[in-house]
Structure 1
């Protein structure tokens, strides 16, 4: 072997090891969007959070990640991706340790926010570094595909891993598992990865970051608290303020020289469908994952390990569909695959409407398998479709928006559809407590009140899942009309 061949082989080996080391934090970021679904009954019993606190424990992480993803991507371009990646991993690890040891709901929420700050650096910086490891376009495309599959697998495996841990250890174990991965990454990354820095034009729009984050948080806070405790003038004011801030943010992005979000991209219908697909697929997946996790444990009475094992078929199908999406596209085209993903998601969600307080395991497994096909296809196709729909000069903005739509959808699914389910429970339940688990933990609760609470929860779950299904099916119809046939060629 010549010296040039030997050098190429060493570079290839280092690139593969670099990809492997980056995949660890990527899987953690994805897992932590879903790992708490089966842990919430245990957290509720240990920390007794209120309804709105329980929802914030679940989705504060996703909101922080989605609010800062684009801004941190821009900062990484200017000041160094590897630097941001290492710093984000450390912050993520500290937040994980604090969350595992939290004695109160308030501190747990704060630690989840800290984890979100770290997570917001990991995705864009990790993807940029992976792209730089492989100069060959074919190898780079394959590596980015592995990156996307790992992210999807992390989402799918989160509840399963959480359930396996919780069957043996306390609820804090779902956070402590992050620590070894972070330690290994911080120790090895400086030797396997190289710095990536791109001098971007202009300054980061700090006001835009503040407007988007505050607007999202105020709006969702108003919706969540109104669903849990009823509407008030203060909550209505928060909602109006949040909407106004988001409108200001949108107007600002159309007028500043270097916007955080290039809203002009949405003039392209194919791009709009791709971003909406990324958003709604995670809205549906997150809401269904959270609500069915509570349903299996608190209504049907399954232990956390059994609930985790019941989720395995859907997780396996989702991961397989994500990895095999390229082959599906080769056979039926990108357009058909994208459209099919919506109908698999919407149709699979409808199967959950067959669940009752007495039985529902078969419907749950069937739903997770059918929707898993749709989720896997959408996770793989969204970024590629969005990037292909815009000029090459805007590819970076398109990719950032695709990632942001996923993270925001994960948070919105729990907060908005979770709030709808909570509202139904509040209106139709026995009125003993704000959540099903709090109600069932009430000392001396009559059997009739427990049965009424379970029926109210299932009713709320059906309403939330029904809305998610209708949204997915409606977007599928829109995709049929808006995505031209030539987009799916090849």
Structure 2
């Protein structure tokens, strides 16, 4: 069998059993920059949306698309771009994706209309989908020794978790001093540094047999998701009508055709046969559901703190810090406890922690509840951190070694889809409650509060309706996590312990015969 081996610039060779040198660790730092940005941009608008709404006055469904168009673009294209990177080169895709991500970020910062902001956010998501799988594959090549590679991938996961957690806080801090577009311009220095140092520190990585990318599968999965969510959002915001119902039905039909098509492909985008394993299925749902709950709660509580309670964006950002710190620290320390407690105990604890934390939001009101909000983010943060830390390891450990790559890709995709679905589904539920119980003057709270001549009673009714929607979302998400925790308690094996599985991303390099002279930067050799 023929496989490609990476040779790093300057003669540093990533060979099986080799010890990583300083260049490998510097390469890891460079790779983590885009990873942090991709996850951070999934959440950086949560506290910024009231300011964006004031500046661009988007409609209810436009506001939701501004938030989750990015996540849908990332999630629906992750696996496809992983296959493209295998065929044409991971480093090449990384650098191209980073350049487009930077350009789209700059354009989004100066978008004059909601429609253009949505378009540039989607373009950022498409570029972001090129970065995550390629970054993980290149990282695997930098650390060929399994134990050190597992440690590096753990750092990768912690950076990904930190990006999600820090995004709202950073957005709030920026908006205290600058205009709303600054939350996108912050990406540019990181992208510039990556484009300068990546060609120096990273080598090209390809798979010898990448398989073909099935274009109909890519189009049907992305279009099916977008149509289904488009219809759902319009039903929640405007009520029952023929166009949104037709969009939902068309989206569902496309997704069903996509699933059926995967069974007949030699290289499916999603290998649905993996879901026959109950451990794998629970792991993937655990990757999706906590991100959905976290993104919806972060978005809605950001509006509660600013638009309902009247806090400025800096105070809201500071109140989010404890939860962000708990989430990040948990994602770093939990892997050390998994070996002793087992995945089953850790996953069950995570789901019940999220359920309990979300229920604390029921104590928030239209006039207060700040302390309960902080407590909610801290308790739920434990569960979110557990999800980030163990989902990929659990999913990969549940399948044979030769299918680890497919399992890892599905687990990674579940995170991004979960982040987008939280805003789309749970955000639409909150919008529906507001439409049914609010004063009926405008479809969103921010639009209602900006109406000229709004009476005190109407403003109070609007705030109370929003809080009711927040409570219903919290109860719904809490019940789903409690149910999944109970399922994990019943279905996961009791004695399973986390080992150190072979990391899923990227081809595993093979030791070359020593060469007489150091290779040129980016050079590759062929091994048999």
TM-score by length of 1: 0.97
Give me the whole-angstrom Cα distance separating, in 2, the residues matched to 1:412 and 1:199: 35
CA offsets per residue over residues 110-136 of structure 1, 9 Å max, x none? 000110111001100000101100122
Matched, 1:190 2:206: no
For 2:400, which of 391, 397, 400 is the aligned residue? 391
Matched, 1:62 2:74: no
SS at match of 1:245: helix
Alignment of 1:124-135 (within 5 A): 124-135=133-144
Alignment correspondent of 2:255: 246
Give me the whole-angstrom Cα distance separating, in 2, the residues matched to 1:368 and 1:220: 27
Cα deviation for residue 489 of structure 1 reads: 6.1
Cα deviation for residue 488 of structure 1 reads: 3.2
CA offsets per residue over residues 130-162 of structure 1, 9 Å max, x none? 110012211111100000000000000000000
Give me the whole-angstrom Cα distance separating, in 2, the residues matched to 1:142 and 1:125: 18
CA offsets per residue over residues 4-42 of structure 1, 9 Å max, x none? xx9799961000000001111100000000000000000
For 1:459, which of 468, 471, 481 is the aligned residue? 468
Give me the whole-angstrom Cα distance separating, in 2, the residues matched to 1:388 and 1:11: 25
For 1:117, which of 117, 126, 150 is the aligned residue? 126
For 1:181, which of 186, 190, 207 is the aligned residue? 190
Give me the whole-angstrom Cα distance separating, in 2, the residues matched to 1:16 and 1:402: 25
Contact 1:356 1:458 in 2 (8 A): yes
Q: Higher relative CO (CA 8 A, sep ≥ 6), structure 1 or 2?
A: 2
Contact 1:208 1:252 in 2 (8 A): yes
Give me the whole-angstrom Cα distance separating, in 2, the residues matched to 1:383 and 1:186: 28
Superposition CA RMSD, Å: 1.3
Alignment correspondent of 1:138: 147
Matched, 1:445 2:454: yes
SS at match of 2:207: coil
Give me the whole-angstrom Cα distance separating, in 2, the residues matched to 1:384 and 1:11: 22
Matched, 1:307 2:316: yes
Give me the whole-angstrom Cα distance separating, in 1, the residues matched to 2:215 and 2:409: 17
Cα deviation for residue 331 of structure 1 reads: 3.1
SS at match of 1:487: coil
Which structure has more helix as a fraction of its residues? 1
Alignment of 1:83-482 (within 5 A): 83-482=92-491
Give me the whole-angstrom Cα distance separating, in 1, the residues matched to 2:402 and 2:466: 49
Cα deviation for residue 333 of structure 1 reads: 1.6
Give the direction of change, closer, same or farther, for the CA distance of 1:134–1:256 in structure 2 (3 Å limit): same
Bigger drift between 269-278 and 128-137 goes to 128-137
Give me the whole-angstrom Cα distance separating, in 2, the residues matched to 1:196 and 1:486: 37
CA offsets per residue over residues 416-441 of structure 1, 9 Å max, x none? 10000000001100111111111111
Q: Which runs of 5+ in 2 are unaligned?
A: 1-10, 500-528
Alignment correspondent of 1:3: none
Cα deviation for residue 335 of structure 1 reads: 1.4
Contact 1:336 1:488 in 2 (8 A): no
Cα deviation for residue 201 of structure 1 reads: 4.7
Give me the whole-angstrom Cα distance separating, in 2, the residues matched to 1:186 and 1:201: 25
Give me the whole-angstrom Cα distance separating, in 2, the residues matched to 1:230 and 1:259: 37
Give me the whole-angstrom Cα distance separating, in 2, the residues matched to 1:488 and 1:298: 46
TM-score by length of 2: 0.90
Give me the whole-angstrom Cα distance separating, in 2, the residues matched to 1:39 and 1:326: 33
Give me the whole-angstrom Cα distance separating, in 2, the residues matched to 1:398 and 1:218: 26
Give me the whole-angstrom Cα distance separating, in 2, the residues matched to 1:7 and 1:489: 32
Contact 2:83 2:210 in 1 (8 A): no
CA offsets per residue over residues 91-115 of structure 1, 9 Å max, x none? 1001100100000000000000110
Give me the whole-angstrom Cα distance separating, in 2, the residues matched to 1:310 and 1:274: 31
Give the direction of change, closer, same or farther, for the CA distance of 1:489–1:84 in structure 2 (3 Å limit): closer
Contact 1:35 1:162 in 2 (8 A): yes
Q: How many residues align?
A: 485
Bigger drift between 43-52 and 480-489 goes to 480-489
Bigger drift between 20-29 and 194-203 goes to 194-203
Cα deviation for residue 200 of structure 1 reads: 3.0
CA offsets per residue over residues 405-461 of structure 1, 9 Å max, x none? 000000000011000000000110011111111111111100000000000000111
Alignment correspondent of 1:51: 60
CA offsets per residue over residues 174-226 of structure 1, 9 Å max, x none? 00000111011001100000111003353111101111001100000000011
SS at match of 2:177: coil
Give me the whole-angstrom Cα distance separating, in 1, the residues matched to 2:232 and 2:60: 12
Q: Which runs of 5+ in 1 are unaligned?
A: 1-5
SS at match of 2:190: helix
